[in-house]
């Protein structure tokens, strides 16, 4: 029975490791056009926006854009700090404080 677990872990290692390593290994030998490199720089911001948007804009599965949405109101000063200070620590602290203050009120 132990060999079955070892084979399962090895299989999981392969299916998670190969999709990450193969593109990296293949792309290091290629000359990527500058426009593609420029486009790839937007991917982290797009992923972050896709992860945050539902939590900020939805309450109980419904779109709420009013003052009842604590996370939407807290996101405004958080975005301002992120844009003007470009400091992840200050951004996170601002978001946490904004949510705490709004929940207290």
User: In this predicted model, what pLDDT tens digit does every residue of 12-67 receive, in sequence order?
Assistant: 999 999 999 998 888 888 888 999 989 999 999 899 999 999 999 999 889 999 99
- The answer to whether residue 28 is domain-embedded is no
Q: How confident is the model at residue 1 (pLDDT cuts 50, 70, 90)?
A: low
Domain region containing 82: 51-104
Domain count, the chain: 1
What is the pLDDT, as a whole number, of residue 28? 84
CB 97 within 8 A of CB 81: no
CA distance 92 to 70: 16
Residue 49: both structure tokens together? 């926006």
Q: What stretch of H or E contains 57?
A: helix 43-57
C-alpha span between 1 and 4 (Å, rounded): 5
Q: Is there a domain that residue 35 lies in?
A: no
Within-domain flag for 32:
no
Residue 99 is assigned to a structural domain of this protein: yes
Give this prediction's pTM: 0.65
Residue 79 within any structural domain of the chain: yes
In a domain, 24, yes or no: no
pLDDT of res. 27: 83
Closest CA to 45 of 82, 95, 14: 82
Query: Which pLDDT score, from 0 to 100, does residue 32 have?
Result: 87
Mean pLDDT across the stretch 75-91?
Answer: 95
- Region 83-99: mean pLDDT is 96
Residue 10 token pair: 């090895």
Instruction: Return left, alpha or beta for 86; rule: phi > 0 is left, psi -120 to 50 is alpha, else beta.
Output: left
Asked if the structure places residue 63 within a domain, the reply is yes
């Amino acid at each position: 029975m132990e060999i079955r677990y070892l084979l399962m872990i090895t299989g999981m290692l392969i299916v998670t490791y190969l999709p990450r390593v193969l593109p990296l290994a293949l792309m290091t030998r290629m000359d990527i056009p500058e426009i593609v490199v420029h486009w790839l720089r937007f991917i982290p911001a797009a992923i972050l926006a896709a992860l945050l948007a539902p939590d900020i804009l939805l309450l109980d599965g419904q779109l709420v854009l009013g003052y009842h949405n604590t996370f939407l109101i807290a996101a405004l000063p958080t975005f301002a700090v992120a844009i003007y200070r470009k400091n992840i620590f200050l951004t996170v602290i601002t978001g946490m404080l904004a949510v705490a203050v709004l929940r207290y009120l």
